[in-house]
Amino acid sequence: MRSAARIPILLLCLLSVLTGAASAQTAAVAGPSTADKARILTYIHSNWDVLARSMSSCKSVVDSKVTTTPILYLPVGMETPPEVLSMEKECKVEVRALPRKIAHMGDVTVAEVPQEGLLYLPHPYVVPGGRFNEMYGWDSYFIVLGLIEDKRTDLARDMIENFFFEIENYGSVLNANRTYYLTRSQPPFLTSMIRDLYEHPAGKPVTRAWLARAYGYAKQDYTVWTSAPHLAGDTGLARYSDLGNGPVPEMADDSAYYTDVIRWLLAHPNVKAGYLIDGPQNPTPQEAEDLSKTSCDVRISKVCAGAWVDGHRLTAAFYRGDRAMRESGFDTSFRFGPFSGSTDHYAPVCLNSLLYKYERDMEHFALLLGRNAEAATWRRRAAARKATINRLMWNPKKGMFFDYDFVNAQQSTYNYATTFYPMWAGLATHEQAAELRLHLPLLERAGGLATSDFDSGTQWDLPFGWAPTTWLTVKGLADYGFSPDATRIATNFSQTVLENFLRDGTIREKYNVVSGSANVEVATGYKSNVVGFGWTNGVYLEMNRLLADAARRLSAASLYRNFDPEPVAYQSRIAFVPPRNHSRSHRRDRRKNPSPILSTRTDQRAMPQL
C-alpha cells in the first residue's frame, strides 16, 4: 500500500518539474521588449563614464569605508605628476610618498601606513560603484569584458596598464588601489584580460611589442600565486592568503560585522569551529600584548578593539582565514567554515582553475612571441595542475569538483558555483562537463544561478546570485556545447537584472535569484546591495551578445524543440520534501514563483559538516 501510494505523488512531482521547466523555457523565448532592452543598454553605455575615475578627479579619493582625511600615496621616488598637483589644490587632498620601494607584495605593511589613502594609478579606470570606489582586481575582468563589448577598448587597455603599474610599483595586482589592500591580491584574471583585449575582433589593434610587455608583467604576477604564503601545503596547488594580521581596516564602516560573527558562534555552540577565545573588553597593557598574538592588536586597530562580545574575542586564526576570504572575493559565505573563517586551509577549485587557464594563456602568448621553450614550460605546469585538480578535487561519485582541505587532507562537501569554473577554464573533460551539467539543478533558480544551496544568511550563499559566477558558468556551458543550458541561465539572469532595472532604474551588485529581486536581506556581512554596478553591467552585455548569437542561429521554435530534458530528468531524482524553517519572506517568494527548481530540499540543506 505504501509503495502504491507513492506513485501518484512521484507523478505529481515529475509533472510539476516538467510544467515549471516548460514555463521557464516559454518565458525565455518571449524575451524582453525592444524598448526595454534599449533602455538598459543606454544606461550601461552611459554608466561607464559615471563609474570612471582618474587622478584628475576629486571623486576618486572619496572613501566611505574609512573616515580619515583624503590622502593620495605615490610610489617612493616618483615625481608628482601635474594632474596630481592640480588635484592637491582642487580636492584638498594630501599627497604623500610610500615609505619605501615595493618589490613584492607585503614589502610595506598596513601598519607602516597608518593613515589610509588611495594608491596612485596613471590611467583612468572604472570602479564597481557605491562604497567600492577603487579599481578592484577581479571586478575589473568583467568590467573589461563589458568595455570591449561596448567598443571602449581604450579604457579597457588603460585598466590593464594600471595593473602593470601595480605589479611594478606595489608588488602585485592588488585587491584594489588603497593602502589597506597592500597585503593581498584577488583572483588572477590578468591573462584573461590581456587575451580578450589582444584577440577581440572589434578591438583596437594591439601590437606584438605590447603583448611581449604584457607577458613579462603577467609572468611576474604569476609568482605571487606559486610562492609562500599562497602555497596550499605540499599539494602543488594554490590557496588564498593575506600577509596582514587582525581584522581588516576597511570594515570600519561596518563595525557590527565581527561582533555579529561572535554572537553567531555563541548562539551555535555545537559548531566546533575553534574561532573564539576568552578575552577582556578593556585589556591591561600585558593583556593587550597577549591578545596581539592570540587575537588581534587592540592598540593599533579600532576595529579589533570593538570586536568583543560577552568576554569573547575572535582568534588570530579566524582573522587569517577572514583576510584570505577577502582575497578570494567571496566575502562572505559559509563555504570554508562559518563565515569562511578557514579559507586559508583550502586549495579552492576557483583559484586553481584560474591558474590553470593562466598557465594555458601564458603558453599561448609564448607561442605567439616565438618563445617555444617557455611555451613548453607553461604547458607542463598546466598539465601538472590539471592532474592534481583531478586527483584531489574531482569527486567521481558526485560528479562535481570540490575545494580541497589540505590541512585535514579531505574534500569539502559544500556545493558551490565554483564547481563550474573548470569548464570556463577548459580544464574539465567532456565527460566531466556532462556530469557537471546534470548538477545544475542544485544551484539553478528561477532568477539565475545561486552561489550555493545553503542559506547561511550571508551574501555569497543562497539565495543570492552574482554576475561573475553566473557568467563563468554560462560561458563554460556554451564552450562545451551545452548551448540550451547556457541560453536558459543567461536569459533568466538577464531578465532578473532587467526587471529590477525597469522597477528602480538601477543595476546592482547581486540579486536574490529565488525571488528575482534586488531587495536583499543579508543577516551578517555586507548588508547593502550596491548600485552601479561594474561587473553586472559587463556581464549583462556579454549575455546580451550570447543570447543575440543564439537567436541568430536558431528560431524560437527550433530552440524549444531542441530543449534537452536531461536536467529535468535529473531534477526528478532530487527528493521533494516540505521546506523546513523557512522565513516568511522565503515562503512569500515560493508563492510568487513556484518553480520546481525552488522546491527541492537543497534550499534548506543542513549546514555542511565542518
Q: Is the peptide bond before 451 cis (omega within 30 degrees of 0)?
A: no
Dihedral over Cα of 460, 461, 465, 469: its sign:
positive
Q: Do the Cβ atoms of 74 and 98 come closer than 8 Å?
A: yes
Across 75-227, the runs of DSSP E, i.e. the strands, are 94-97, 118-119, 125-126
What is the spatial distance between Cα 177 and Cα 24, in angstroms, rounded to a whole number?
Answer: 42
Instruction: Count how many residues are written for the chain.
Output: 610
The torsion defined by the Cα of 442, 443, 448 and 450, in degrees rounded to 10, comes to 160
- Residue 310 DSSP code: T
What is the spatial distance between Cα 475 and Cα 426, in angstroms, rounded to a whole number?
Answer: 10
* Residue 72, φ and ψ in degrees, nearest 5: -115, 125
Q: DSSP readout, 260-276?
A: HHHHHHHH-TT-----E
What is the spatial distance between Cα 447 and Cα 513, in angstroms, rounded to a whole number?
Answer: 4
What is the spatial distance between Cα 453 and Cα 163, in angstroms, rounded to a whole number?
Answer: 35
Q: Do the Cβ atoms of 329 and 400 come closer than 8 Å?
A: no
Site of grid cell 606584438? 208
What is the spatial distance between Cα 563 and Cα 558, in angstroms, rounded to a whole number?
Answer: 9
Q: Specify whether 116 is catalytic.
A: no
Residue type at 477?
Answer: L
Strand 410-411 vs strand 404-405: parallel, antiparallel, or unpaired?
antiparallel
What is the spatial distance between Cα 141 and Cα 120, in angstroms, rounded to a whole number?
Answer: 20
Cα-to-chain-centroid distance, residue 306? 28
Q: Do the Cβ atoms of 530 and 131 come closer than 8 Å?
A: yes
Which residue in the list 139, 509, 542, 589 is annotated as catalytic? 509
Alpha helices by DSSP H, listed for 185-337, are 190-199, 208-225, 257-267, 285-294, 302-306, 316-328
What is the spatial distance between Cα 476 and Cα 421, in angstroms, rounded to a whole number?
Answer: 7
Strand, helix or coil for residue 238: strand
CA 414 vs CA 191, 321, 369, 458, 600: distances in Å: 29, 17, 42, 15, 17
Q: Specify whether 331 is catalytic.
A: yes
Which residue in the list 161, 331, 405, 589 is annotated as catalytic? 331
What is the spatial distance between Cα 2 and Cα 287, in angstroms, rounded to a whole number?
Answer: 65
How many CB atoms lie under 10 A from the CB of residue 447? 27
Q: Catalytic residue numbers?
A: 331, 509
